[in-house]
Copies of this chain bind each other. A is one copy, B any other.
Amino acid sequence: FSLNLAADCNAVLKALQPIFQEQGMTETVHNWEDHGYLVTYIKKNGSFANLRIHPHGLVLVDLQSYNDDMKGREEVDQLLNKVEERMKELFHGNIKRVKRLPAILRGGVIDRYWPTADGRLVEYDIDEVVYDEDSPFQNIKILHSKQFGNILILSGDVNLAESDLAYTQAIMGSGKEDYSGKEVLILGGGDGGILYEIVKLKPKMVTMVVSNIDQMVIDGCKKHMRKTCGDVLDNLKGECYQVLIEDCIPVLKRYAKEGRMFDYVINDLTAVPISTSPEEDSTWEFLRLILDLSMKVLKQDGKYFTQ
């Protein structure tokens, strides 16, 4: 509850107290004098509640309980409804905002919380752990979501879901490129999405270079991300493609030296690379090196795509 005015901590406590006591919860009050109250309510079944009253007009209620079932949720909703009602009686029109957040589930078999790269909390509708393996380089998870299909998660970082065809289409130029008869180089892309989509377009030859760091990513994806990669990862060679399990930098250097040129270079390496060689002493150095080497293997009218 955000209020438009200062909160009389004692008045809030007295107003809400009966709601918790009706539940058979025992009360412990801490009074900071200058920072308001923390009231802890403890129930016999192991549940508890924190009521934090900030004198400048912020009242926070947290409930924590174990073995959440639908009945438990209904009880929580009823309790919070009573708290909301009582607060509205107490403050009339002076409540600026009431916000109730969904329960956070911890300690379950399935972890539904996968924060974004910029640190935002996002809960997915995960209903199955499909693959969960540690390679020497990273943890590789594939989790099933009702909304997104299987989702590839590398060391906690959400990479790609089977529903993310739009990502693959965008990095290929949003349907505006003609790949037929073309020479294409893919850097990274171990999930096989780009390779699968380009092979459909009858290119002359696609070479995909995936670091051995991602060998287990390929293993997981070829089994469990088939909406993304189809069958292209079943073999490392097809009629018009090959997959090289090698660090891309020496491969690019070799191609540049040999004068091997491409119509398209698609850089699908992870945004923050896992460093394996002393050359890659910073992210920007690494990105610049990849870009410089890519330009050297690109035909004059060739195109470079990346995130």
Contacts and interface: CB of A to CB of B under 8 A. Distances in A.
Interface string A25-68: 00010101001101010101110101010100010101010100
A111 to B, nearest CB: 6
Contacts of A46: 32, 35-36, 54
Contacts of A107: 2, 54, 58, 60
A203 B37 CA distance: 64
A250 interface: no
Interface in A221-267: none
Contacts of A64: 50, 52, 60, 62
Contact of A121 (B28, B38, B104): B104
A148 to B, nearest CB: 12
Interface stretch (A122-130, A194-202, A206-214): A122-130
A92 interface: no
Contacts of A122: 121-123
Contacts of A66: 35, 54, 58
A103 to B, nearest CB: 9
A120 interface: yes
Contacts of A11: none
Interface stretch (A94-102, A185-193, A293-301): A94-102
Contacts of A181: none
B124 A120 contact: yes
A166 interface: yes
A158 to B, nearest CB: 13
A106 interface: yes
Interface in A123-143: 123-125
B101 A115 contact: yes
Contact of A120 (B2, B102, B115): B102
Given A30-B40, A30-B48, A101-B104, 8 more contacts: A2-B107, A28-B30, A48-B52, A58-B107, A60-B106, A62-B62, A97-B111, A121-B121
Interface of A: 2, 28, 30, 32, 35-36, 38, 40, 42, 44-46, 48, 50, 52, 54, 58, 60, 62, 64, 66, 97, 99, 101-102, 104, 106-107, 111-113, 115, 118-125, 166
16 contacts: A28-B28, A30-B40, A30-B42, A38-B40, A38-B48, A48-B52, A50-B50, A50-B64, A60-B107, A99-B106, A99-B113, A101-B121, A104-B121, A118-B125, A120-B123, A121-B122
